[in-house]
Chain A
Amino acid sequence: MRRYVLRRVAIMPLLLLGIVTMVFAVTRLTPANPLVTIVGERNLGNRVVVDAAKRRWGLDRSVPVQYERYVANLTRGDLGTSFRTRQSVGRDLSDRLPATLELTLAALVFGLVSGVGLGIVAARRRDGWIDHLSRLFALVGSSMPAFWAGLLLLYVFYSRLGWLPGPGRLDPRAVTPLRRTGFYTVDSLLAGDWNTFWASVRHLAMPAFVLGWGITGIVSRLTRASLLDELGADYVRTARAMGISERRVVAGHALPNALLPTITIAGFSFAFLITGAVLVETVFSWNGVGSYAVDAARSLDYPAIMGVSLLGGIAFLLTNLLTDLTYALIDPRIRLS
């Protein structure tokens, strides 16, 4: 098992180099001019300014040389400087990553917990009203685009009813908690500031719900189907014949087996979260990596685009590894092979 993990980690740099190369190629092939961002539209006609900018950002070199330099800098941990923020991309990302992590983790936890819970109830009360309701909830959640659901919820719960706060991680005038982890919820707790904690949880609720809803949908339907399958399995009949209580038969015997496919989907749904986060962060003015990615793409900010892609790649590879490890943790048959 340890060798397997080491091997997986060892090939990661290679995979990341692949991602870098592909994103590099795609951005350079895009028929648009990043100089618009760098010097501004008015200066595009000014040769002196343009030439200076090109020299300053290395755009006067050939693409292979640019690529070689980028990779060389990358091995030193230097992600370059954003055309737009004029800050190092590494710094930009580490500033914004906690916001995204806080949002996606909250969404993932919400999606998995509510999905598995709904799936169990739906399987136990098959064709009952909870089953039908959860089917509808799943259908809406996985078919409604996140930005649309976000706007709708903002309209209803913020603008109309006023039950939840509007966009942003905290109210615009609120003092952000002292940064330790970058998670406002955790940092405010560490500072013992209950008001800020509660405010950050309330701000987190809607975007996390919107982002996690799709996962709830997929996970609940999948858990229901595989739990029903497992409840018909021979070992469940054995457990019942041995007088094991129905609650334990479901939770202790059938559910661990039923969760195996769910874990796979949970891993995949992380990709869903990454793309979903871009939209949800934009709708909810969430100052995270997603909205950074949108701004970077809009202005063809080469280093920022590269940085975001690289971060996404790392996140994806780590999630896949984590999925496989969780799988092995639950299913002993995988542990050996």
Chain B
Amino acid sequence: MPEPVLVVDDLHVSFRGPDGPVPVVRGVSFEVHEGGSLAVVGESGSGKTVSMLAVLGLLPGATVRGSARYRGTELLGASQARLRAVRGAHLGMIFQDPMTSLNPVLTVGRQIAGVLRAHDRRLRSAAARARAVELLDLVSIPQPDRRARAYPHELSGGMRQRVMIAMAVANRPDVLIADEPTTALDVTVQAQILDVVTRLRREQGIGLVLITHDLGVVAGNADRVAIMYAGRVVEDGPMTATFASPGHPYTRGLLASLPRLDRRRDPVPIGGAPPSPSSWPTGCPFHPRCPLAVDACREAEPDLVALGDARVACSVVAAPSHR
């Protein structure tokens, strides 16, 4: 297996709250290999986006602990100048809402050219513009030279998301972090956007971190999956194995809540609501909603332990008696 390009180890993020610090991410670890892909799945508020923003140093005001290394270079606590050189050049990121994530007063060509020139000062503006048009072509935007002169409001949501992708891959990053890239889009457009991402990944060998709450998006677009709950990774493993035999009760619940065409059974929702960062439950944070919970779950928070090819943080399924 090739060396990991991005290694995140025991990441903690907390924000200042009215009653002391609010822990939003509590010990998240994952790695992305060259050309590999990882899906980070979880409900809103599980800490997916915050983890990624923390890695890129884009969370002013938050307290970040742990380690995030890009090709051996520590990113947490690095100077803004150093982080700036990594962001957009080695680690690209695209965001959920393409309506608000592009600057309304600049043409998309200019925005892409800006990203190019931010990392290559010798690049002339004419050359940057020409390259911007190529990039628009790369993300399958028709009439790229005309579209380069368009403003974001003149493009559809899918087009804008393609523009975002073009910006993020403009400097050929090693890793593309896609934060809910299709959530704000129509279903038909979702598939097109995922196709573009997958194609770029194959053609350019870009590693992918796909953040989503939609397991349907994960299938076929990632080779590994990490399930997050309450600011922690509760299960990680190869995508196919995890989907075939989910270990953690939460993962099972997520899969059971998906409508499926190949089974004669209605989707089953997970009861209850996800907890809030200001009041995590004691013990295993999932125990109030867990069908398998026993008394011990209320007391100690389980760590990730190996279970077949995967790792699962659940003391019930990991117990020898359960296997």
**Interface of A with B (CB < 8 Å)?**
233-235, 237-246, 248, 252-253, 256-257, 330-333, 336
Whether A243 pairs with B93 at a CB distance below 8 angstroms is no
Task: Please count how many residues in chain B sit with their CB below 8 Å of the partner chain's CB atoms.
Answer: 33
Number of A-B residue pairs, CB cutoff 8 Å, is 83
6 A-B pairs (CB sep. < 8 Å): A238-B95, A238-B102, A243-B87, A244-B118, A248-B118, A253-B103
Q: Is B164 an interface residue (CB 8 A)?
A: yes
8 Å CB contact of A242 from B87, B151, B154? B87
Task: Give A246's nearest chain B residue, CB to CB.
Answer: B80
Q: Cα distance A244–B116 when bound, in Å? A: 9
**Residues of B272-297 contacting chain A, CB below 8 A:** none
Whether A235 pairs with B168 at a CB distance below 8 angstroms is no
Q: Cα distance A68–B207 when bound, in Å? A: 81
Whether B104 pairs with A240 at a CB distance below 8 angstroms is no
Known contacts A257-B104, A330-B105, A241 near B153 by CB under 8 Å: no
Whether A240 pairs with B58 at a CB distance below 8 angstroms is yes
**Interface of B with A (CB < 8 Å)?**
56, 58, 80, 84-89, 92-93, 95, 97, 100-107, 114-115, 118-119, 151, 153-154, 164, 167-168, 170-171
Task: Give B87's nearest chain A residue, CB to CB.
Answer: A243
Chain A residues near B92 (CB, 8 Å)? 241-242
8 Å CB contact of B58 from A235, A237, A252? A237
Q: Cα distance A238–B170 when bound, in Å? A: 14
Whether A241 pairs with B56 at a CB distance below 8 angstroms is yes
Q: Cα distance A25–B197 when bound, in Å? A: 71
Whether A253 pairs with B106 at a CB distance below 8 angstroms is yes
Q: How far is the CB of B234 from chain A (nearest CB, A)?
A: 27
Q: Cα distance A243–B92 when bound, in Å? A: 9
8 Å CB contact of A239 from B100, B103, B151, B154? B103
Chain A residues near B85 (CB, 8 Å)? 243
Chain A residues near B106 (CB, 8 Å)? 252-253, 256
Q: How far is the CB of A313 from chain B (nearest CB, A)?
A: 32
Q: Cα distance A241–B54 when bound, in Å? A: 11
Known contacts A243-B118, A244-B114, A248-B118, A234 near B100 by CB under 8 Å: yes
Known contacts A241-B56, A246-B80, A252-B114, A235 near B87 by CB under 8 Å: no
Q: How far is the CB of A223 from chain B (nearest CB, A)?
A: 16
8 Å CB contact of B167 from A237, A242, A330, A333? A242
Chain A residues near B86 (CB, 8 Å)? 243
Whether B103 pairs with A235 at a CB distance below 8 angstroms is yes
Q: Cα distance A241–B93 when bound, in Å? A: 6
Q: Cα distance A244–B110 when bound, in Å? A: 13
Q: Cα distance A257–B170 when bound, in Å? A: 24
Whether B88 pairs with A244 at a CB distance below 8 angstroms is yes
Whether A332 pairs with B114 at a CB distance below 8 angstroms is no
Task: Give A255's nearest chain B residue, CB to CB.
Answer: B105
Chain B residues near A233 (CB, 8 Å)? 100
Whether A241 pairs with B58 at a CB distance below 8 angstroms is yes
Chain B residues near A246 (CB, 8 Å)? 80, 84
Q: How far is the CB of B111 from chain A (nearest CB, A)?
A: 8
Whether A237 pairs with B118 at a CB distance below 8 angstroms is no
Task: Give B107's nearest chain A residue, CB to CB.
Answer: A332
Whether B100 pairs with A235 at a CB distance below 8 angstroms is yes
8 Å CB contact of A331 from B89, B104, B118, B154? B104
Whether B101 pairs with A332 at a CB distance below 8 angstroms is no
Whether A242 pairs with B102 at a CB distance below 8 angstroms is no
Chain B residues near A253 (CB, 8 Å)? 103, 106
Chain A residues near B168 (CB, 8 Å)? 242
Whether B105 pairs with A257 at a CB distance below 8 angstroms is yes
Task: Give A260's nearest chain B residue, CB to CB.
Answer: B105
Whether B88 pairs with A332 at a CB distance below 8 angstroms is no
Q: Which 6 A-B pairs have the closest CB atoms?
A: A243-B88, A242-B88, A234-B100, A243-B87, A332-B151, A235-B103
Task: Give B89's nearest chain A residue, CB to CB.
Answer: A243
B97, B100, B170 — most chain A CB neighbours (10 Å):
B100
